[in-house]
């Protein structure tokens, strides 16, 4: 998350309390926000030194124990492969994206492209002041071998159907390859936006709203089963909470996440476990999900 002017932060700190509970398309009753599920998180691994501004995280579909990570705006146009199978994360490879600029890289999703090929999607979607004319997603095939490489991604350009928005969450449904972006709003519900299926390179694609999302949403991910997804919030302006929904948007659970200085990332380690991290903390955590938040597992 890019730095915000001090006057904005001071004003934001005095804003109304954050509404962590989004409005669901379902009319089913939802638990109060204060009853978030609490299960003991476990330390997963510490990140290598080159990831001090972690802003996107995705678990590999080809290499067990590997997570892909990226830094946000002002950093390189690179994706890092980290072995998180032990307590100390080991850098295994760096992928440099040709023709891609890190304007404000804020999210990542690992999942199939339109041909079913496992791919890494990099979301250059951050827009703190809602001023960008377009945002972009860069996609390249997940490598068979973990070694430093230069890759040539496919670029997808997007605008929102209802104006400009800040966003830090990129999701990809593994069952139908549908891509989503969730906006990040302070003190009010954000929205989940759907991309065309499939999105087209070489033209601007329109993102259309489908349902509400939590306030101050800093990342999101689909479960490997495709039957649920999570959107998370994090400090300093949102609760450290993961909101888990079924594929139709009905909320299944609220899950307490570790308190980190700037909770920014979430992915699924497996269909029963989240992996979360922070921009200003090198520790990744595993967070178990309650049974009701893990359909299809």
CA distance 157 to 58: 21
* CB 215 within 8 Å of CB 238: yes
Q: What pLDDT, on a 0 to 100 scale, did the predictor assign at position 9? A: 38
Both structure tokens of 136 = 């972009």
Q: Where are the alpha helices (DSSP H) in the chain?
A: 6-13
* CB 296 within 8 Å of CB 228: yes
Sign of CA dihedral 199, 164, 169, 226: negative
Residues comprising the chain, all counted: 297
Both structure tokens of 199 = 């999105």
Both structure tokens of 181 = 């972006």
Q: What pLDDT, on a 0 to 100 scale, did the predictor assign at position 12? A: 38
Q: How far is CA 146 from CA 97, 114, 153, 265, in A?
A: 15, 23, 17, 22
Query: Measuring CA to CA, which residue among 170, 243, 230 is closest to residue 18?
Result: 243
Q: What pLDDT, on a 0 to 100 scale, did the predictor assign at position 33? A: 43
CA distance 178 to 253: 23
pTM of the model as a whole:
0.88
Q: What is the pLDDT along the chain (297 residues), one digit of tens a residue?
A: 444 443 333 333 333 333 333 333 333 334 444 456 667 999 999 999 999 899 999 999 999 999 999 999 989 999 999 999 999 999 999 999 999 999 999 999 999 999 999 999 999 999 999 999 999 999 999 999 999 999 999 999 999 999 999 999 999 999 999 999 999 999 999 999 999 999 999 999 999 999 999 999 999 999 999 999 999 999 899 999 999 999 999 999 999 999 998 999 999 999 999 999 999 899 999 999 999 999 999
| 3-state DSSP assignment of residue 78 | strand
pLDDT digits (tens, 9 = 90+) for 71-128: 999 899 999 999 999 999 999 999 999 999 999 999 999 999 999 999 999 999 999 9
Q: What pLDDT, on a 0 to 100 scale, did the predictor assign at position 30? A: 42
Count CA within 13 A, CB hemisphere, residue 191: 15
How many other C-beta atoms can be found within 10 angstroms of the C-beta atom of residue 124?
A: 29
CA distance 288 to 178: 26
Q: What pLDDT, on a 0 to 100 scale, did the predictor assign at position 235? A: 87
């Amino acid at each position: 998350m890019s730095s915000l002017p001090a006057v904005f932060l001071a004003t934001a700190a005095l804003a109304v309390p954050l509404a962590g509970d989004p409005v669901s398309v379902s009319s089913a009753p939802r638990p109060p926000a204060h009853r978030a599920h609490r299960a003991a998180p476990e330390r997963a691994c510490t990140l290598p030194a080159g990831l001090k501004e972690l802003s996107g995280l995705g678990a590999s579909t080809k290499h067990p124990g590997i997570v892909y990570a990226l830094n946000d705006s002002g950093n390189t146009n690179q994706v890092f492969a980290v072995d998180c199978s032990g307590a100390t994360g080991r850098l295994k490879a760096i992928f440099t994206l040709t023709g891609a600029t890190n304007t404000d890289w804020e999210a990542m999703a690992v999942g199939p492209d339109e041909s079913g090929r496992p791919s890494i999607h990099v979301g250059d979607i951050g827009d703190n002041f809602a001023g960008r004319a377009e945002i972009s997603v860069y996609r390249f095939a997940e490598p068979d071998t973990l070694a430093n490489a230069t890759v040539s991604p496919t670029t997808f350009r997007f605008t929102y159907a209802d104006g400009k928005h800040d966003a830090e969450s990129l999701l990809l449904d593994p069952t139908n390859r549908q891509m989503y972006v969730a906006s990040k709003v302070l003190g009010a519900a954000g929205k989940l936006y759907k991309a065309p299926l499939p999105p087209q390179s070489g033209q601007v694609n329109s993102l259309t709203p489908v349902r509400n999302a939590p306030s101050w949403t800093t990342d999101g991910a689909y479960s490997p089963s495709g039957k649920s997804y999570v959107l998370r919030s994090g400090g300093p302006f949102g609760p450290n909470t993961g909101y888990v929904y079924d594929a139709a948007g009905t909320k299944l659970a609220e899950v307490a996440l570790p308190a980190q200085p700037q909770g920014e990332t979430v992915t699924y380690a497996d269909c029963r476990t989240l992996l979360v991290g922070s921009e200003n903390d090198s520790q990744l955590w595993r967070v178990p999900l309650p049974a009701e938040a893990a359909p299809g597992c």
